[in-house]
Structure 1
C-alpha cells in the first residue's frame, strides 16, 4: 500500500517531510481564493499538498504553480508527488528561502499565494529538525513572511494562510500595520463546543472590508455539512 495520503485525483507521499498531510492543509487548500490568472505560489510547500490542490482546482485554466521549501527532503517529496500527479507540466518545486526568492522577483508579480507557515513563535520545539523548522518561526519569522508576500503580491492578488487562533490574530494585526489588510477570515472549530483553534486568513492590498466566516469540522460524530461541502472534491470517502 502506498505511503502517505490518497485523495480523489492525486496521492501525497509525505515521508521525510517536517509537516505531514493534515486537516489544516486540506482546509487551506480548499478554502483559499485562486485568482483566475497569473502564477500560483505555494510558500513552504512541504510534500506539495497545497500546490496539488491548487492544480486540481485550477485545472480548467491551467495556471503554472511554483512550490518553494527550504528543506531538501520536502522538495524531493514534492517533486516526486508532482511527477506522479495528473498535472506534472504545471507544477515545479524548488529549494529556496522565500525571503531570498522574493528579492529576485519583480514587485507585484504574483496573483495567488498559498502558505501553511511555521505556526509558533515560542514554546518547546520538536526534536526532529525538519519538523521544528516546519512548526516554529526560527527560520522564517511572520514579519519576514509578510514582507515577502507584500513585495510579491499584485494589487488585485490574494494571499491565503492558516494559523492557530492566537498567532493568527497577531499576524492579522501585523499585516494591517504593513498595509496588507485581512480581506477574509474564517474561524475554525473542531466541534461546536470547542473554542476556535485555527484561523483561515486572506490578505490583499485592496483594503476591502473583512468578510468573517465560521466553520465547524465535526458535528454529531461526523464531518459537518459545511466541511463536506468544502472538502468533498478531495477526500475519497466524501
Structure 2
C-alpha cells in the first residue's frame, strides 16, 4: 500500500523482496562498506535512483564511514546511483544524513512507520487466511498485480523470492472472502526470534477494497510474525496515504515518529 518504496533503511525484508529478481540480480544490487574486514554498512540499490542503507550500531556516527558513503553516492563515476534525481534512505540519526544535506541534498516526503507489539497474543482476523506455498504461487502473484497497478510480480518471481535465503524466515498469508476469492495478501519477514519483523509488501485486490480486508490481512501478518518469534511487526507507508495509515492503526499498529529519505534533484 505504497507508491515508490521510499524512506526506511534496508532490512532483511527488503533484500528478500528484491530476491524476486533472482540471486544474481540481488547480489549485483548490494553494496557494502568495510574496514578491517568488518562490514560497517550495507546498501541495497533498489532501482537506479534509490539506495537503502543500514549501518552497524557503532558506525552510525562514524565520520570515516559516512564520508566514504557520501563520496560513493555523489560521484556518478563510482556507479552507485544514477545521475539526476536520486534518493538515499538512511537511519534517523546517522551522520551520513547530515553530510548529504550539507552537500545539497533535500529532505524528502514524510513516511509513517507503524509497529505492532507482539509480546501479547494476537487474535486472528475473522476471514479465512491461508499461507501460500509453491502450489499457490499464482494466487499470491495475482493478488499482488491486482493491488498495485505497476506490479510485474509473477509466479516465477514468487518462486525466485522463495528460493532466497531471507525467505527461510518469511511467509505469504492470503485472505479469502466468503465466496473463496483471494482478496488481500502480504509477505512478512522475520529477522529472527526476539527481533522486529517486517511487512513488505501488503495489498488489497482493487475489486475488493472497502470491506476491511486490509485490516484483516494486517492482523494476519502480525499473527504470522508472532508465530515466527518476532518481537514486533513493523511497516512503513507514505504519510500522505491516509487510508493505509488508518488500515494499519485499525489492525492494532501504533504510529511512530515520521521518517524521511533524502533527495537529490537532477
The TM-score range, normalised by the shorter chain, is 0.3 to 0.5
Larger RCO (CA within 8 A; separation ≥ 6): 2
Q: Which has the higher helix share?
A: 2
- Normalising to structure 2: TM-score of the pair? 0.32
- Normalising to structure 1: TM-score of the pair? 0.35
Bigger radius of gyration among the two: 2
